[in-house]
Structure 1
């Protein structure tokens, strides 16, 4: 297993300190703040550890309150809100330096049969029809800003194959839609818990960027201040994160210094496995003077 994937699985495997009390660490990658997807995934993992195995998370709703410090462990406290006949509810608070940096509410449900429908997956090129990372570096990204090139060259546990990268290189105002094929670089097995937390981890990737398409900008623009404010996710069907999934995204609105984005995650054969919504801070960076 590659170092990046093993590192991801290690940071998502929380240390149990006491009943309903867990501790997580961050990778030593030089970042100034903890990646939001990591905190979402760790908090979900903490909640899952307090719920019977036969109950599966069907939704989570989270708020980012303060930037996480990657040099300090994160403590997760779980509040057992309710254990009902069909549903279980948990609330998780992430703490650093004596203050809350993040909160998450998650709902779990025992498996049930019911009505089934979904919207169709967009008709776009499949991942094997698109350039991989090395090909992107040699073609489209060779003209991209240095910060963009550095991001795409960085080793990571999640592989991307975007359908379009015009927003990084053109500066044009584009329709606020993007489609990206994503998968974990290594097989993480069939464990539904491991697949769910890795899916939560990757759901925070690339999403907020979509809100900047309409303005001819990206999160790498030096004049843009961007940060996740909240995150919601609905798990519709089981997913295997080591297989290609289409992350289809759109941004219906931006206003008041905030951008709203939505995402749908489909399997390669078109099954909708999860839906995501996120609002983030996107505004011109304020002068330090």
Structure 2
């Protein structure tokens, strides 16, 4: 009768025909060397260094750029740029939702009107639309709505109103297509279920369809706003004193035209960077429930990139 062998959790298996008496060796992990990354990084750094050196050797008075960066007139123009961009985007959102619903309507008249609106404002340049609104008094000297309203067109179409109409109406055409795509991304069963519960079409759109469509609408809307922020520089052509107009006026007066263009570029980069971060967190918020893992925040992404350069250590 053979004796039973008890083996503990830390005991090595008994020697025999199919077992080895030597302990297992720890695996030595050697990280893969990505030489292409280092070569591309060096090339990019060299190119950036050459670009900085080229501008530093140019005939640019950088002290003027620093002095005029927070000039009161520049800050006033910056505020007006933000104001006209935000108001134009709000107008574009309202018009976008309205015309998107009209285009999806089964009514052929409202659908045709929405299509014509989108066709015209998407098919003509923003600059031309601004000039048309600015020159409206040439064909309509007086805006006469009967007993409701009557005013001279020149007094009504101020540079602010022209900029708001030009940017807002143009943005509404693009937002209509974005909202329409978001609405069509929602399953039709959601609408049918809402109607089965007795909800009206307006209530279904407001409480069921649009909240789910926001996941599709938010990302391109953020891109449209950033694009609108840069496009707003065109309003200087209709005498609206925005950031570009303010810096151009100072540059012409002080004889520092190129320096003031750098000032305007710095502020535009700052604005787009701030709104890009806001767009990212807004997209992340509406992604909850649709993704298993939310995309990393900029801080988490920075930590992950820094960890790439650390050598992987394996416990022995």
TM over 0.5: no
Name the TM-score, length of structure 1 as normaliser.
0.21
Larger Rg, first or second structure (1 or 2) = 2
Higher helix share: 2
Relative contact order, CA 8 A, sep 6+: which one is greater?
2
